Amino acid sequence: MGKKIAAPFPPGEILRVELEARNWTQNDLAEIMGRPLRMVNQIITGKSGISPETATQLEGALNISAETWLNLQSIYQLSKVAENKTEDVKRRAKLYSLFPIKEMIKRGWIKAAENVDELEDLLKNFCCVDDLSKAKDFSFSAKQNISSYNSPVSPTNLAWLYKVRNLAKTQITTGKFTIHAAQSAIDKLSALLLSPEEIRHVPKILSDSGIRFVIVETLPNSKLDAVCFWLDDKTPVIGITTRYDRIDNFWFTLRHELEHVLRGDGKITPIIDENVGIDSDDLPEAEKIANSVAADFCVPQDKLEKYLLRVGPYAFAERKITAFAGVLNIHAGLVVGQLQHRTQKFHLMRKYLVPVRNFILNGSTYDGWGFVNEEI
């Protein structure tokens, strides 16, 4: 282990030693140099530095070259600057490791800071914490911790989660949450599956059921689709990204998150869904259940099975798809989405996967796509 280099000390320390060696007082040196006693005292106490003029006078008084005094002063000043700058750099690096600062500023979530102290304060305010080491808790109580299938949450997703939470806290729902209210909301939502335009009613239906619903555009390099968590035991929150602006993905994701709400998932640990709907044996049971329910909500799975048996290789025939969707009174895009998922033939019939974001943003609490929500 290498030796720790001693920190440089102010040249006033050496000056004090030299005076003691000569049995001189500070007043003696001041008289010798023809300078005020206050000037000598401030050098010795480190309150003032040594100028070229003073260095020249010290050379004459103490027979120590002016270059030596100036070098000592320069080394000390550089060490102080380096110490302060290094500390600021370390602090700033830590903050940048916690959050995507540049993107947050770009999105208007925080303003550009003039120094690291201001940046730290802005982030504390954004997270509503007094210590940023607590930021990853994303909590309203000490026992809560973030988890995405037991994986560490990324800085990008963490910032998104806080934005969703901040916006959700500003909402006032028109109804109180109960399981019955949530189930009633799902029944009402199922009547909207035929027309993309009907999606505009979603925010009100959820609000009437006491569920806070927020839409926040993802940050770059994120695969987030949605999150379910609770502000308290009676206040569920659903946040979505509409990362895939398609009718099938919207309804699947929303019903998936509603199932988490019905089950009480997310009360202890926020449920973070990336690539929602993906099939994997490693998925937690809650995710498998939510996926199954969401698929059945979009297209009743027993009827889809019968359709596949009946049409066989002609499953993607446009006439058959539209006829099947008509019988179910749902949009053909929901059928196409389920067929693509089952067959992995994602290039077929894409024209039916119509965009819906513009319909859902109308009347929603949202942030992104050029709009900055400044609720906090």
The pLDDT score that the predictor gives to residue 156 is 94
The pLDDT score that the predictor gives to residue 150 is 54
- Single residue among 43, 65, 96 that ends a domain in this structure: 96
- Single residue among 136, 162, 185 that ends a domain in this structure: 136
Q: Residues 251, 263: one domain? A: yes
Q: Residues 252, 155: one domain? A: yes
- Single residue among 45, 67, 96 that ends a domain in this structure: 96
The pLDDT score that the predictor gives to residue 143 is 34
Q: Residues 192, 258: one domain? A: yes
Indicate whether 107 belongs to any domain: yes
Q: Residues 175, 270: one domain? A: yes
d(CA 336, CA 340): 6
Indicate whether 175 belongs to any domain: yes
Q: Residues 118, 189: one domain? A: no
78-85: which pairs have CB atoms within 8 A and are 24 or more residues apart? 79/7, 79/8, 83/7
Q: Residues 240, 103: one domain? A: no
* Residues in the chain, overall count: 376
The pLDDT score that the predictor gives to residue 1 is 39
**Predicted confidence (pLDDT) per residue in 204-255, tens digit:** 999 999 999 999 999 998 999 999 999 999 999 999 999 999 999 999 999 9
85 pLDDT band, cuts 50/70/90, is: low
Instruction: Check pLDDT > 50 for residue 4.
Output: no
Q: Residues 87, 19: one domain? A: yes
Q: Residues 52, 69: one domain? A: yes
Taking the whole predicted model, whether its pTM rises above 0.85 is answered as no
**Residue 129 belongs to domain spanning:** 98-136
Q: Residues 70, 35: one domain? A: yes
**Predicted confidence (pLDDT) per residue in 39-57, tens digit:** 999 999 988 889 999 999 9
CA-to-CA dists, residue 273 to 22, 260, 280, 304, 332, angstroms: 76, 11, 13, 25, 25
78 pLDDT band, cuts 50/70/90, is: confident
Indicate whether 360 belongs to any domain: yes
Q: Residues 191, 266: one domain? A: yes
Q: Residues 286, 195: one domain? A: yes
> 168 versus 269: which is more confidently predicted?
168
The domain total for the chain is: 3
Q: Residues 118, 88: one domain? A: no
